[in-house]
A = this chain, B = another copy of it.
Amino acid sequence: MDSRGPAVARSEVMTFDLNRLAVPIVQAPMAGGPSTPALAAAVAEAGGLGFLAAGYKTPEAVADDIARLRAATDAPFGVNIFSAPQVQDPDVVLSAYARGLTVEAERHGVALGEPRYDDDAYAAKVELVLGERVPVVSFTFGCPTPETVAALHEHDVAVWVTVTDPAEAMLAQQAGADALVAQGTEAGGHRGYFCDDDGHEEYGLLTLLRLLGAQGAPPLVASGGLMDGPGIAAALVAGASAVQLGTAFLLADEAGTSEPHRARVAAPGVTRLTRAFSGRTARGIVNRFMDEHDADAPAAYPQVHHMTSPLRAAARAAGDSEAINLWAGQGHALAQARPAADIVRSLATDAAAALRARGPDHL
């Protein structure tokens, strides 16, 4: 485990090399609160790769996060950027959904947000990571153009693209991605589909890894439902170069996870895919809001995200876990409430033990 020494300092490398991580554990970017510079720094200092989540933040706030992270560690890190949503079908009717949410807004004494379209400042965020020469930039919800990938490469930025199926993997490979974050259906939070929110095959992680391996994909970062040492070891045996864990860090001391969210992650509870909160499919722990609004939610991201934002903020402040998005992967019951560095170290130790326990002689 420690044979390759400590994490490579950022100044020592040109483009980030996934295979040189001291511990092949990536902390997933979790937009909307859980990801913090402190969490990324703790993971990085323990030998993993920390990530900042640029989603929903202004470029200025992201720049501030980068500065705070760099003040805390010299280790390489990543920034995740949301690819710009497709221009929406103008016929998508949001008013019916808004009517259904009226009672929710009233319950928390707020008005629904304006269902506006925006691209989450995509271009400005790409400019930011170029200028900052961030070691790794991952994209979710779509693939950057080959021109953007080339520009990032010219600035020594490694480009990762989140993919959910073999076709998306092919597109990302053709665009020049250095690594693919293979997102199995087990993953918490938004699905990384490149385009339409409907009709995607929901691949389990293990099968997805093998299908991508068979088509000669770039190095793979396995994502989705990985929570413990044996699960991590299994993903590596299945061909992943590293694993990316989000839910496993939701209860970490350094995570910005809200209290009502923490309480539900730690409790038993099934998860489901839903569009109710954001207009885009995501996995979360089932609660009242999901049950009541799931069926009516249109595929309209980010409009629905903006509509529900005020009422989710109010519910969060009120500690009402029945009205907020409880993003979590299918393995959330295994999450550990500990300092992130302890989580990284115990996962690495347990993964090594799992590999030792089932060597080729034990087949």
Tell me if A214 and B1 are in contact (CB < 8 A).
no
Stretch at the interface among A55-63, A93-101, A205-213: A205-213
Known: A204-B330, A329-B207, A363-B351. A234 touches B238 (CB 8 A): yes
**Which A residues, 291 to 329, have Cβ-Cβ distances below 8 Å to chain B?**
329
Chain B residues with Cβ below 8 Å from A186 are 203-204, 206-207
* Oligomer copy total: 2
Number of residues of chain A lying within 8 A (CB) of chain B: 56
Residues of B within 8 A of A185 (CB): 185, 202, 204
Query: How far apart sit A334 and B205, CA to CA, in the bound complex (Å)?
Result: 16
Q: Which of A65-73, A122-130, A146-154, A352-360 contacts B (4 or more CB under 8 A)?
A: A352-360
Question: Is A204's CB under 8 angstroms from B230's CB?
Answer: no
How far is B333's CA from A99's CA once the two chains are assembled, in angstroms?
A: 45
Interface hit among A133-141, A219-227, A253-261: A219-227
Cβ contacts under 8 Å, A201 to chain B: 270-272, 330
Contact among B210, B334, B358 for A214, CB-based, below 8 A: B334
Q: Shortest CB–CB separation between residue A111 and chain B, in angstroms?
A: 33
At the interface, yes or no: A50 with Cβ under 8 Å from chain B? no
Residues of B within 8 A of A227 (CB): 207, 210
Q: How far is the CA of A356 from the CA of B213 in the complex (A)?
A: 18
A24 beta carbon closer than 8 Å to chain B: yes
Cα distance A204–B238 when bound, in Å?
14
- Taking a contact as CB atoms closer than 8 A, the residue among B207, B239, B352 that contacts A225 in the complex is B207
Q: Is the CB of B334 within 8 A of A210?
A: yes
Closest to A286 in B: B201
Q: Answer whether A363 and B331 are a contact pair too, CB < 8 Å, given A202-B185, A204-B206, A227-B210.
A: no
Q: Is A361 an interface residue (CB 8 A)?
A: yes
Task: Name the contact of A237 in the complex, choosing from B165, B234, B333 (C-beta under 8 A).
Answer: B234
CB under 8 Å from chain B, chain A span 263-281: 270-272
Contact, CB under 8 Å: A359 / B359: yes
- Cβ of A104 within 8 Å of any chain B Cβ, yes or no, is no
Q: Is A3 among interface residues, defined by CB-CB distance under 8 A?
A: yes
Bound-complex Cα distance A3 to B237 (A): 22
A168 beta carbon closer than 8 Å to chain B: no
What residue in chain B is nearest A187 (Cβ atoms)? Answer: B204
> Are B358 and A363 in touch, CB under 8 angstroms?
no
Q: Is the CB of B225 within 8 A of A230?
A: no
Of all A-B residue pairs in the complex, the 8 with the closest CB atoms, nearest first, are A207-B225, A204-B204, A234-B238, A186-B204, A234-B234, A352-B360, A355-B360, A356-B360
Q: What are 30 A-B contacts with C-beta separation under 8 Å?
A: A184-B204, A185-B185, A185-B204, A186-B206, A201-B271, A201-B272, A203-B330, A204-B204, A204-B224, A204-B330, A205-B206, A207-B224, A207-B225, A207-B330, A207-B331, A210-B228, A210-B230, A211-B334, A214-B333, A214-B334, A230-B239, A233-B238, A234-B234, A234-B235, A237-B354, A237-B355, A237-B358, A351-B363, A352-B363, A356-B360
